[in-house]
């Protein structure tokens, strides 16, 4: 029985990129930078300190794999990882690829206006599900 609505919040049904043993990688439905994702533990934990060694080892493996995929797909320059958990109290990281210059993908110009500072803009234009699916497929192709 689910203990929270994290899977609905991040639209697992449409935006799952890849499922691992302990984690699920989803494209972030509010894609504030090209390829922004969310990495969510399959088990419900409310603190990072609750994870075990195997889960953290897999996290590191996923981060390495995802960074290679984003580099191959969109040539990102940096990656920011945010674990805020103020609203969604289920362990998850927001993964934000960062870009010093615009990228064009799927007929959309992606800009990272905050480069090189931290970004967390919630006011960016909404990206359509059609474009999100193209981003998701491009990442999957490179994983």
> For the segment 32-65, what is each residue's pLDDT rounded down to a tens digit?
899 999 999 999 999 999 999 999 999 999 999 9
Please state whether the predicted TM-score (pTM) of the whole model is above 0.85: yes
Any alpha helices (H) in 10-115, and if so which ranges?
A: 12-15, 53-74
**Omega cis (within 30) before 4:** no
For each of the domains in the chain, give its residue range(s) and CATH number, in order of start.
6-142 (3.30.428.10)
Specify whether the CB–CB gap between 3 and 125 falls below 8 A.
no
Per residue in 79-111, pLDDT (tens digit) is: 999 998 878 889 999 999 999 999 999 999 999
């Amino acid at each position: 029985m689910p203990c929270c609505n994290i899977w609905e919040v991040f639209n697992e049904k449409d935006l799952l990129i890849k499922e691992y043993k302990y984690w699920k990688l989803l494209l972030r439905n509010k894609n504030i930078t090209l390829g922004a994702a969310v990495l969510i533990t399959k088990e419900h934990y409310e603190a990072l300190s609750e994870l075990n060694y195997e889960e953290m080892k897999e996290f590191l493996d996923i981060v390495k794999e995802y960074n290679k995929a984003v580099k191959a797909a969109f040539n990102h320059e940096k990656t920011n990882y945010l674990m805020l958990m103020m609203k969604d109290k289920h362990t998850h990281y927001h993964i934000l690829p960062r870009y010093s210059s615009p990228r064009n993908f799927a007929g959309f110009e992606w800009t990272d206006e905050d480069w090189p500072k931290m970004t967390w803009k919630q006011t960016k234009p909404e990206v359509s599900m059609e474009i999100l699916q193209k981003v998701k497929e491009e990442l999957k192709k490179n994983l």
